Chains A and B, each alone.
Chain A
């Protein structure tokens, strides 16, 4: 993963996402999810564009399956938004577009 997104896993998820102040977006992906890989460069672009305004994380569900299910993620790709540790919004499914993601981000950076 890129440096623009902080990689989270079962060990640091609580600290980096649930205990974080402000808004955090977590991009749940998997190496076999073509759609996730397709979206990844766009997510990185968005993370760069909105850098400093909110926190961007990514989580590889391979190896973090239980963590994903605990966050009610059972399908990829999924973009979850947390505010002060509470899940407030999400996008999921094969038809997510980069525009959809940016729209959600805009909703939370203002």
Chain B
């Protein structure tokens, strides 16, 4: 089979790049699938000054390029392809792209999020005609022109600041009462002091108007209900993001907003499938948390790959029947009894083999076989990959009984 990787990472934003660096450094055969340029949303952020250790003067494209080079340097492979579909339950997991098919023993899904639309008349039609979701991309076209910014979160306030370098005036439309924005205090205070930024409070955009280019927005004051037409050449919309989880909505568990639900190890509801970065249900969506997600997911994936490889080779595909003894290393009395199993298998080494598993550390057995850690030790008899018998009584008699020896 071609294109089989230990770790297949979908998406080349900070989460994916960090995961790739950890995976490749951990000697996993690692590939990132990215449709375009690596860097994700961070690459469209001009000024990025809150990644620890990289302060003022850091740019999104610059930082993410360094992340990509770091991952490639440790041996990760970058595949340029657009993902069309996934089969996450197959073994290995299958990812279908426009150009080819790829397989991963473990998959990290890190496709991120995209800007959310406000869904008002004119927004779709005037996209690229004054309506924009990316200040870095379009700001310089608005030199000498007037623009409005919709939203008051970090992105809205920070990008409004950036837009003042180009546009004649920048007016921020905020739904809250005067003086209240959702952005962090540092950015908000800086923006409040910027003389080129004007603020319109208690207001939402009802429509975006214009024939060939944006000419105005219709604003509605949510307190008085009053509507006004506000002339502008551009509308920059920053009202949050929506997750890129459509591809997996029938396979992975999502929250009501469509973000992928994971545990603290970034594991999803399907074994060997992890999610990292903005696409995941989480509290804070920043480059530093995306990178952290990626690192955790990669380490968890590495453990998963090791455990499944071992389990497959020594238990599921073993030629002889296998006794698997699950134990808890902190329970001395129980662990000593594993010695009886050891002795029994040694005496019958032509017919049996033995695998000892620390059930307190092995997540695979816990997940697949629901081992109750409070009732250890336990012995399973595996024949041709299936459990044929079990016993909690680790005595020669009961071992003889379950193996018919």
A: interface residue count bin: 20 to 34
Given the known interface contacts A69-B141, A72-B212, the answer about A94 and B134 at a Cβ–Cβ threshold of 8 Å is yes
Residue interface mask A1-43, B partner, CB < 8 A = 1:
0000000000000000000000000000010111111110000
What residue in chain B is nearest A31 (Cβ atoms)?
A: B140
B61→A74 contact, CB < 8 A: no
The answer to the question of A65 belonging to the interface, with a C-beta cut-off of 8 Å to chain B, is: yes
CB distance from A99 to the nearest CB of B (A): 8
B46→A32 contact, CB < 8 A: yes
What residue in chain B is nearest A90 (Cβ atoms)?
A: B128
Q: How far is the CA of A93 from the CA of B82 in the complex (A)?
A: 18
B212→A92 contact, CB < 8 A: no
> Which of B37, B46, B128, B212 is close to A75, meaning CB atoms less than 8 Å apart?
B128
Q: Which residues of A contact B127 (CB under 8 A)?
A: 75, 92-93
The answer to the question of A84 belonging to the interface, with a C-beta cut-off of 8 Å to chain B, is: no
A74→B37 contact, CB < 8 A: no
CB distance from A17 to the nearest CB of B (A): 18
The answer to the question of B339 belonging to the interface, with a C-beta cut-off of 8 Å to chain A, is: no
B37→A37 contact, CB < 8 A: yes
Seen from chain B, the residues whose Cβ lies within 8 Å of a Cβ on chain A are 35-37, 39, 43-44, 46, 61, 82, 114-115, 127-134, 136-143, 212-214, 233-234
29 A-B Cβ contacts within 8 A? A30-B137, A30-B140, A32-B46, A33-B134, A34-B36, A34-B37, A34-B43, A34-B61, A35-B134, A38-B35, A61-B141, A65-B141, A69-B141, A72-B212, A72-B213, A73-B128, A74-B142, A74-B214, A74-B233, A75-B127, A75-B131, A75-B132, A76-B138, A76-B141, A78-B128, A92-B127, A92-B128, A94-B134, A94-B137
Seen from chain A, the residues whose Cβ lies within 8 Å of a Cβ on chain B are 30, 32-39, 61-62, 65, 68-69, 72-76, 78, 92-94, 97
